Amino acid sequence: MIASYRDPGIIERTAANFRRLWIDLDRLCYRRSGENCIIEMTVSSDNSDNLAYSIYNLSKMIDVERVSILDSDDNILLTYSGGEVLGEGLH
């Protein structure tokens, strides 16, 4: 996920987005890049019935630029932005 970083609330809102739909997170890591106030976040979770819906909701959150779904080798499978599918295999 790529998002604008205004405050630490983006981390809490991201975790809450998954927890709201009863999805357990295995790992949540983030990295903030410099003066641009951009945050890159990686979330790891087991596949569940609500995971696709949660990713869709995440892509529509304020401050979220795009959300990419990765496979186990970190290859991008699908990218969302604003609830719309941007394409497959975008970086």
pLDDT in tens, 42-62: 999 888 889 889 999 999 998
Is 2.30.110.10 the CATH classification of the domain at 2-87?
Answer: no
Q: Please report, for the chain, the start and end positions of each structural domain, with discontinuous segments joined by +.
A: 2-87
Among left, alpha and beta (phi > 0; psi -120 to 50; other), residue 11 is alpha
* Other Cβ atoms closer than 10 A to 14: 23
pTM for this model (two decimals): 0.78
| Mean pLDDT of the chain, nearest integer | 87
Q: For 74-81, what is the mean pLDDT?
A: 86
